[in-house]
Amino acid sequence: MNRPTFHVCIATGQNLANLIPALQLGARRVAILETPAMKASAQNLKTALAAHGIEVERHLFDDSTPERILTSADEIATTLGERALVFNVTGGHKLMTLALSEKMRLADELHLLYCETRHDRLDWLAPQAETEPLDNLLKLEDFLLTQGYRINRRGERDGYWAQDAQQRETLTQKLGDEADKLARFLGTLNRLADRCLSNEPAGPYQFEQELEFTPGGRNAEVLELAQRHGLLSWDGDTRLVFRNEAAARYFRGGWLEEYAWIKLRGLRPHDWSVNLESKTLNQTLNEYDALVAHRNRLLLIECKTTRFGRDGLKDASYIYKLAQLAQQTGGIMARSLLLSARPVSDEVRQRARDSQVDILAGEAIKTLPDYLRKWMNGQ
């Protein structure tokens, strides 16, 4: 069925349900109804729609009393109803939606829909009852703009960073696939790299570092492979020298982000980025190790190579902030995943479950592709 290109929706705290139908149905103009409490949300939605070249108009809706709700609904119907339109009833509170649905029936041609994001479909109530699946539409910028963020820096998936990451892919794969067996040594390299970088800005980087023991077996293999990739020099005993700042940052935790990048590159979700930054209008900065958009859902991946379990309050705060960041960035369509190179205690896991944060730690890191496939399939 051909649908009107003029849409009416109600600004809400979960505006993705307003954005998706407008994009899927090819809206050319959208009228956003906003209550006084939803002015900022309406502006965010307008920005996201305008980024797709959609014209936007905003209409104030007084919901202060039942009488004013009816009056406002009547005024909106009179102003907007003399044309064919799609009315998206997903937003707004019940009294507002009921009043508008009744009054908007006076429109010349009314197409009434509800965007059921949890079940990936559009539910049509008029002119006839039917459903249609949601297309795989939303990109990272759609999520961020709708939630009031702007992309400050896009991850360096291309250029020199990607070239370097590809060249040392064998090493990165080894670190991720054997993270549980290498846990203590990875912790040692992390500390040395942090020590190397910690003198800035007070003084120069201390690229030369001393191990407390002579590595052997699997640990020695890591150093030999890192040396072949030009990340460090190792004398075969306890002395090692990081090649440069980037090499030290790789061993301070960057390798885990590259591991996630390698797996994401292989699976090719709808949109994704590593090392992404966003800002709010008041310049609040958020940093993401990785963000993934697929089937109109968002996955925030946090990579951590330092140890959990030493400070219960700090661990709880970390998990809580991770859950909050996902919700702030993608609303109810977002989920967060903690990718930890070190083992995670039962207490941390319980806190994560309570906050709906998934965890892959230690040996489980290598199951990241399976996790991503299931998430991409909505499981």
pLDDT surpassing 70 at residue 157: no
Same domain, 99 and 204: no
Residue pair 366/341 in contact (Cβ under 8 Å)? The answer is: no
- Final residue in a domain of this structure, among 253, 278, 298: 253
Distance (Å, whole) CA 368 – CA 61: 46
Q: Does residue 142 form part of some domain? A: no
Q: Does residue 194 form part of some domain? A: yes
Same domain, 370 and 277: yes
CATH number of the domain enclosing 363:
3.40.1350.10
| Per-residue pLDDT at 110 | 93
| Per-residue pLDDT at 153 | 65
Tell me if residue 321 falls in helix, strand or coil: helix
307: exposed, middle or buried (C-beta count within 10 Å: 0-12, 13-18, 19+)? middle
Residue-wise pLDDT for 186-196, tens only, equals: 999 999 999 88
Same domain, 269 and 317: yes
Which residues partner with 273 through β-bridges? 291
pLDDT surpassing 60 at residue 203: no
Q: How many domains does the chain have?
A: 3
Residue pair 86/4 in contact (Cβ under 8 Å)? The answer is: yes
| Per-residue pLDDT at 106 | 77
Residue-wise pLDDT for 100-130, tens only, equals: 998 888 777 899 999 999 899 999 999 999 9
Q: Does residue 1 form part of some domain? A: no
Q: What is the DSSP pairing of strand 271-280 with strand 239-242?
A: unpaired
- Final residue in a domain of this structure, among 230, 253, 276: 253
Write the DSSP symbol of residue 307.
P
Q: Does residue 224 form part of some domain? A: yes
Question: What's the mean pLDDT in 141-145?
Answer: 95
Same domain, 265 and 352: yes
CATH number of the domain enclosing 184:
1.10.10.680
Angle, helices 16-24/39-50, rounded to nearest 10 degrees: 30
Q: Cis link prior to 127 (omega < 30° from 0)?
A: yes
Q: Rounded mean pLDDT of the chain?
A: 91
Same domain, 25 and 121: yes
Residue-wise pLDDT for 16-51, tens only, equals: 999 999 999 999 999 999 999 999 999 999 999 999
184: exposed, middle or buried (C-beta count within 10 Å: 0-12, 13-18, 19+)? exposed
pLDDT surpassing 70 at residue 377: yes
pLDDT surpassing 80 at residue 91: yes
Sign of CA dihedral 55, 58, 59, 64: positive
Q: Does residue 189 form part of some domain? A: yes
Same domain, 366 and 277: yes
Q: Does residue 95 form part of some domain? A: yes
Residue pair 192/209 in contact (Cβ under 8 Å)? The answer is: yes
Listed in sequence order, the residues at least 6 apart from 161 whose beta carbon sits closer than 8 Å to its beta carbon are none
Same domain, 236 and 276: no
Write the DSSP symbol of residue 253.
I
| Per-residue pLDDT at 230 | 94
Same domain, 217 and 315: no
Locate the DSSP E strands across the chain.
6-10, 29-34, 55-60, 84-88, 109-116, 121-126, 130-133, 149-153, 208-210, 232-234, 239-242, 271-280, 285-294, 297-304, 334-340, 357-361
| Per-residue pLDDT at 154 | 62
Its domain, for residue 283, covers 152-156+260-376
Same domain, 195 and 102: no
Q: Does residue 221 form part of some domain? A: yes
- Final residue in a domain of this structure, among 205, 238, 253: 253
**What's the whole-model pTM score?**
0.91
CATH number of the domain enclosing 69:
3.40.50.10770
Angle, helices 368-376/255-267, rounded to nearest 10 degrees: 50
Same domain, 189 and 300: no
Q: Does residue 122 form part of some domain? A: yes
Distance (Å, whole) CA 245 – CA 258: 16
pLDDT surpassing 90 at residue 199: no
Same domain, 127 and 10: yes
Residue-wise pLDDT for 274-293, tens only, equals: 888 888 777 778 889 999 99
Question: What's the mean pLDDT in 86-91?
Answer: 95
Same domain, 45 and 27: yes
